[in-house]
Structure 1
Amino acid sequence: YSGYGLDQDDPGNPSDLVRHLLSLDLANGAIQWDLQFPSQGTEKPYQGFQALHGYASSTPVSDGTHVFAFFGRDGVVAATLDGKQVWRTSVGTDTHSWGSAASPVLFQDLVIVNASVESGALVALNKSDGKQAWRFEGIRQAWSSPILVPLADGRTELVVSHRGELIGLDPKSGKKLWNCDFIQDYICPTPVAHDGIVYAIGGRRNQAIAVRAGGQGDVTETHRLWEARAGSNVSSPVYFDGHLYFLNESRGMAYCVDATSGNIVYQERLTPRPGTIYASPVVAGGRIYAVSRENGAFVLAAKPEFELIQHNEPLDESIFNGSPAVSGNRMILRSDQFV
């Protein structure tokens, strides 16, 4: 984004905020195109938590023909791969002092977004024209992204974590299929799934839960497999080879949890202290890469024995809140100033 919120001492005029959808050349970082979306309303001021991550936190998604991005109260946008806008649709105009963070997911001919901040709902839009296909109300205090969970019988469920519960829906219709009690707190981390089991963490009490998808109604007693007192209030977990790995956002702790039993395999403090971690870890080449906000990146062995392989010093003085992306043997990092 540009125009507003680039300097906390002199943020500028909120009406000058412009969000950007950019295409960069992977080989050299050159900007191939820059599609700009001027703000259509007043955002929360650039201060406090809003200033920690700005006004373009979500990750775009592509089906290979178009790319889709979510800009909070400024809506969902679709563009061609050569940078032409196709449509722009509002999914709500509410704002929050923490901003907006959820990323869209694609299912068949739908773009699905968690508009908890903007309208308290999950919203599915047609990929072709941006018109609403369905809306599910009652999503409370959720900055997490929805995920798609394939089941053994060939069906796919849409699962989202929000205050008080995990819920599963039919992604085609938005019909609610099941719910499972979870922590009574706001939720930022996005769940992960493997072999039909959903793993979620979150809350200031740092809880983790495993739930078997595919149920009906309240599945708290029938499909909840385990709970654990470990987690992160912001960054999401990753699943790898039968274990969950995640970093606590403020304690500087790395966790490994057995995905079958929920037992904590290790909880170890990182050295040097990472400070705040908002970015979610990624697994590549048998290693876990975790990027801290201001103290560089930590590389851990992706195995159930704690091993800190490397601490990489910060690249510059900018703030790294975005999760890294991996392409081949390259890792793409995004800060509040650079890619």
Structure 2
Amino acid sequence: MIRRGLLAWSMCASLAVTLTVHADDWMRFRGPNGSGVSDDDSIPTEWSDTENMSWKAELPGPGSSSPIIVGDRVFITCWSGYGTDSDNPGNKEDLKLHLVCLNRTDGEILWTGDIEPTGKEEDYRGMFAQHGYASHTPASDGKNIYAYFGKSGAVAFDLDGNRLWDASIGTESDPRGWGSASSPVLVGDKMIIPATAESQALVALDKETGEEVWRQEAQGFTGTWGTPVVCQREDGLEDLVIGVPYEVWGFNPETGKMRWFAESVESDSMCSSVIEHEGTIYLIEGRSGGSIAIRSGGKGDVTDTNVLWSGRERGRISTPVFYNQRIYWISGGIVSCIDAKTGDQLFQARLQSGGDRGRDEQSADRDGSRESARGGPGGGFGRGSGGGRSRGGMGGQSYASPVVAGDQMYYVDRSGTTYVIGLGDEYKLLATNQFSDDDSDFSGTPAISDGQLFIRSNKYLYCIAEE
């Protein structure tokens, strides 16, 4: 049944000279169009504190946003002054928000842009403490950096660190008290922000001025934490596509008008993001399970005409990746793979901390224990613990999404263990890696660019590359 109630709309550079922007820059959440995929085949499978680690940089504070790469710079957001110690959060009046620029060669912090909070930020407690005040990954067009800080608004800096503009998007709170986490995307001359918690709206700002171009509000944005993608349609138009509870919506990015919608998975929250490949939208989400493939395009309700397949595959927070006609994702310690054309399952296996027991897990799943595996660790949110977190007491659901380099998938759980998985029809664990001196939270999704893998924790940013 279509949740039509959700559609209740209220329609209404000096550094640029010396900076070399590479074709393989990673300039938004999960890289090119949010795919999480790089064709870079030079990323190592194994590393340690002394092997294949180019550098480690201490950050000004914690955060769960992801790094982005622009030329010879790395950008990341974090916060300080409040909520960095779960046992002693401190005073909210001392909260500071930061956009940090680092040299990708050695990790040196080149500049830090400080953003003053609005004073209306959430208290650091409960579910909000799972991700804190820097959950939105910035975006770049190669010229400027655009960041979003929820209630504290959007901000733009040039690559020298000069502040260009700032804009308030809204200061509401989501009903669950989970805060917000959707990241901005750039489409043409617009910065498009899913201000799902702050104003139950999708908002477009002029990149040059920060002025609002359009705003579309809908009750359905409540319960949405995903980031949109741009989809090229068969007719040559572009759709801006986002998953919301129960449905998937396609917008005209120039005007913000909805073009089409389709019934999706039965979930009252949408934590993961949709992915796109050659005009088809894929979504895997929901505590009770739900997967779907939808051909982009059309007008109005396209459920009957554009849904290619649907299933009960289970996901939660981690966004899948599409690679070689397969879709891979990880949820609750379980790695899954389905055929993108049919939705049929190819394998499902429990992540192992050592050795390759994927074949045994795969056989057990096919023999009927699949539902048991789906009910494994995770499946919900764990307890927040601020800037520090013990490896043995993680619990809950990991936040980072997998990324692909060459024929290998990299996935970081919240304890900092990175699983390297060979991609194909069978599960093959190639390696597990962990930083021995960092027991904090790893909730950001890694970035890949030009032979380097960037991983962030609540304390550090790491650069991994072949020695």
TM-score, reference length from structure 1: 0.96
Q: Point out the structure with the larger helix share.
A: 2
State the partner residue of 1:322: 444
2:61 paired residue number: none
**Number of residue pairs the alignment of both structures matches:** 337
Q: Provide, for residues 256-278 of structure 1, a one-character-per-residue CA deviation record: whole Å limited to 9, x for no partner.
A: 01110011111111113896421
Asked if the contact 1:185–1:204 (Cα under 8 Å) also holds between the matched residues in 2, the reply is no
CA deviation vs aligned residue, 1:64-118 (integer Å, no higher than 9, x gap) = 1111011001111111011111111111101242121111111111000111110
Task: Please point out which of 186, 199, 202 is paired with 1:106.
Answer: 186
Q: Which runs of 5+ in 1 are unaligned?
A: none
1:75 has 2:153 as partner: yes
Indicate whether 1:159 and 2:241 are aligned. yes
What 5-or-longer segments of structure 2 have no aligned partner? 1-78, 354-376, 379-394, 462-467
The code of the aligned residue for 1:177 comes to R
Q: Distance in 1 between matches of 2:186 and 2:445?
A: 19
CA contact (8 A) 2:152 2:168 kept: yes
For the 8 Å contact 2:416–2:441, the answer to whether it is kept is no
Q: CA deviation at 1:136?
A: 1.2
Instruction: Supply the distance in 1 between the matched residues of 2:158 and 2:416 (Cα, whole angstroms).
Output: 37
Classify the secondary structure of the residue corresponding to 1:50: helix
Taking the TM superposition and a 5 Å limit, the aligned residue runs for 1:48-127 are 48-96=126-174, 97-127=177-207
Q: Could you tell me which residue of structure 2 aligns to residue 331 of structure 1?
A: 453
Q: Tell me what 2:412 maps to.
A: 291
How far does residue 295 in structure 1 lie from its aligned partner after superposition? Answer: 5.0
Q: Which has the larger radius of gyration?
A: 2
* Residue 214 (structure 1) aligned to one of 284, 297, 306: 297
Checking the alignment, whether the CA contact within 8 Å between 1:297 and 1:314 is kept in structure 2 is no
TM-score, normalised on structure 2?
0.70
State how far apart, in whole Å, the 2-side matches of 1:99 and 1:184 are. Answer: 18
Match of 1:42 among 101, 116, 120: 120
**Please, what is the CA RMSD of the aligned residues?**
1.4
> Which structure carries more strand by proportion?
1
2:225 to 100, 118, 143: 143
Residue identity matched to 2:141: D
Residue aligned with 2:424, SS:
coil
Aligned to 2:338: 257
Aligned partners of 1:36 and 1:154: how far apart in 2? Answer: 41
2:321·2:403 contact (CA, 8 Å) conserved in 1? yes
Report the Cα offset of residue 330 of structure 1. Answer: 1.2
What is aligned with 1:177?
259
Q: How does 1:260-279 map to 2 (within 5 A)?
A: 260-272=341-353, 276-279=397-400
3-state SS of paired residue (2:208): coil
2:80–2:96 CA contact under 8 A, matched in 1: yes
Alignment partners' CA distance in 1, 2:269 and 2:130: 18
- Per the TM alignment, residue 313 of structure 1 is displaced from its structure 2 partner at its CA by 2.6
**2:281 partner SS:** strand
Runs (4+) of structure 1 exceeding 4 A deviation are none
Partner of 2:285: 202
SS in 2 for 1:300: strand
Q: Deviations over 1:121-170 (max 9, x none)?
A: 10001001111111111122101111111123321100011112100010
Q: What SS is found at the alignment partner of 1:222?
A: helix
Q: Aligned AA for 1:323?
A: T
1:190 is aligned, of 257, 273, 285, to 273
Assess if the C-alpha contact under 8 Å between 1:191 and 1:200 holds in 2: yes
Determine which structure has greater relative contact order: mean sequence separation of CA pairs < 8 Å that are 6+ residues apart, divided by chain length: 2
Q: Which moved more, 1:198-207 or 1:167-176?
A: 198-207
**Letter of the aligned partner of 2:348 in structure 1?**
Q
Query: Which residue, out of 216, 223, 240, partners 2:306?
Result: 223
- C-alpha separation between the residues in 1 aligned to 2:432 and 2:139? 30
CA displacement 1:22-69 (0-9 Å, x = unmatched)? 110001111011000021122222122222222101111100111101
Moved more, 309-318 or 2-11: 309-318
CA distance, structure 2, for counterparts of residue 262 and residue 119 of structure 1 = 35
**8 Å contact 1:156–1:171 — kept in the other structure?**
yes
